[in-house]
Structure 1
Amino acid sequence: MNSQKTWIICCIFNFLIASLMGLLLRFLYLFPLNSINYNFLLHAHSHVAMLGWVYLIIYVLIVHFFIPKEKRKKPIYNQLFWVSEFSVIGMMIAFPIQGYALFSIIFSTLHILVSYIFCWLVWKDCSKEKSSQKLLLTAVLFMFFSTFGVWCLGPALSIQGKHSAFYQIAIQFFLHFQFNGWFIIAVLALFLKQFKKPFDKKYFNRFLYLLIVSIFLTFAFPVSWYISNAFLKWINCIGVILQMTAFVSFYKMLKPQIYSFKENLNLTVKMAYGLALSSLFLKVTFQLLVLFPNLAEASHQIRNFIIGFIHLTTLGIITGFLFGILIQNKLLSNQSYWLRLGIIFFFLGYLMTEVLLFLQGGFLYFNKGIFSKYYESIFGTSIFIAAGLLLILMSVIKTKKQESIN
């Protein structure tokens, strides 16, 4: 239990560092500092958020929920966690200093190699019977598959250069299958694990297979940014429709258990799951909207839309589900006033920054320029995210100390 609490503290610490880096990125729009390379810091922010928070907290929860008690005690799980954390700390230091260069690449590569060992362990130790397990193993396969994009970066760089379609598509390959395949399916597997009764197999299988196919087909959308071909737009269109159909089946699968499930949840957990599911609905809706050519063009050309969509996925869907699961299972103590306040601060910061990002994106889309006090507003609202994470971290550390004394 103590090692698990320590793991969670490390994950939230990483998340706090990533949020402070994000806050500094927004500060640089107000007060540029020549000593800080914006792009290097941006790489650090994204890697620490993805690999230090999302990957590692999913790791912790997979070990907790899916690995049988006698197997999770094996030293390898603890060793893998700390090697992964070591690689995150390395990226945390190397990226702001040198960007993509020798040391940051070494630490990134180390993280990928360790994730392969984790994939193998989960596949070996996890039961393959229940719906949530099937979903988890699908997520793990997507994690492995997504890394093919990373291994293509070296050849793409040496053969065609950094600005080539090959290089950019390799990056999008990794990001698309990492977010839509590994991260989102993994948190959905963890969410389904919280339900006590089995699901209707017909709806589950329809959801799973349609979702898998839609993930492959919607990869056509980022590819279409670099290769002009009408066929790609039609492939994406089919993928988006299949994705919507998949989540209709997901809702029908959950519907018989929703009310009994909600009865046992406290207000904080309901808020976290509500935010996650609302964000998921918005994500599917936005992907439907970008089927319109003008919006499709704007979605990858207007930076505010890009950041808003990424944060919708990472902070809204993924982190919403993760916080809900952590609090529901008392891995984060809901009895703590500071934790509840931290969660409220975090979600307020998320909602306010999303409104500002999409509002500013709308202004740019309609050629209205930057609205008054935008940079000051988004910096100010981002403070809520960092402050919320600081309060959550302090609460977890305090709870761990009290448990140690008792």
Structure 2
Amino acid sequence: MTSGSGAEVGAGAWPPLREELRGIEPYGAPQLDVPYALNVNENPYAPPAACVADIAESVARAAETLNRYPDREFVELRAALAAYLSRDVAPGQAPVAPEQVWAANGSNEVMLQLLQAFGGPGRTALSFAPTYSMYPEYARDTHTAWVAGRRAEDFTLDLDAARAAVGEHRPSVVLLPSPNNPTGTALSPEAVDVLCGAVGDDGVVVVDEAYGEFRRAGTPSALELLPVHRNLVVTRTMSKAFAGAGLRLGYLAAHPAIADAIRVVRLPYHLSATTQAVALAALRHADALLGQVDALRGERDTLVDWLRAQGHDVADSDANFVLFGRFADRHAVWQGLLERGVLIRETGPEGWLRVSVGTPEEMAAFRDALTIVTKENQ
């Protein structure tokens, strides 16, 4: 006898999901209809009109050939991304070459492909908590063992402890967000040097620069170290600084052999013709799209100063978000802000909250709401 769902009475749970996935909630921040959504680190400024027009025209041209598969190797896009990344290399350093570049549907897919290629059964991925909450999911989905070391009290890396963790666990992949999510902490070049040296040819060190364009003056990109370490991978995204969260385009720069190896695990024609067309159009307007980055940096620094003046602990941030605390009941603070139309993120270490940097109007609304909520929760 069977139930209406087709599952046999007394049989195991339906559907026949992998056991380690049962009961797990899918990743995702709350999507709520509020006046001020400051919880997912989006760029609050829409692309300029000229960029939108170029995108529309480019997609229209791509639509004329949608009966054909897209360029599987996305040669034109790789060249454009290499030229863009070359802006961040050190003076006198050779530019990033197209064969060093790989792209996929968001930096999430780039990371997953890296774990598919260099992780897997019998291998280990290592990061240092607090860190991006998707990293252990990439490991889980690729049957890669997951190990999280700890950061120092100020959220920087203790290099001796990091080196020891590499020696103990012998990871195939080390995942290092810089700026770190959720703390906003940037890695020093010394930290990248130390970890690349510790891992050696046994693995790859991935420096995740999803928020790299927001780093403060004087903070270098790990791209400068690509000629020094062949096991270094630097990832970026067009979701944040390029105001392209809806585009879903992430990419990396690495030794050509690493970029080439990822081709083994990619799905056929994984980047659609329209995705390639939109990304190329956005890159043609890079200067205009990045024009708001300085404004967002200024808003971030003003917000950090204001939060500290109110007596909050605030992590130094090189990103477009700020981690602040410490609250005896952070959920009550989060809920109080939500009731006043301000949605932020309840993430990171216990007692801390994270707010995305928005427009001056959004930041004013956040400050007003937090002032009230903080007094109510004292």
TM over 0.5: no
TM-score range, shorter chain: under 0.3
* Greater strand proportion: 2
TM-score by length of 2: 0.27
Larger relative contact order (CA 8 Å, sep ≥ 6): 2
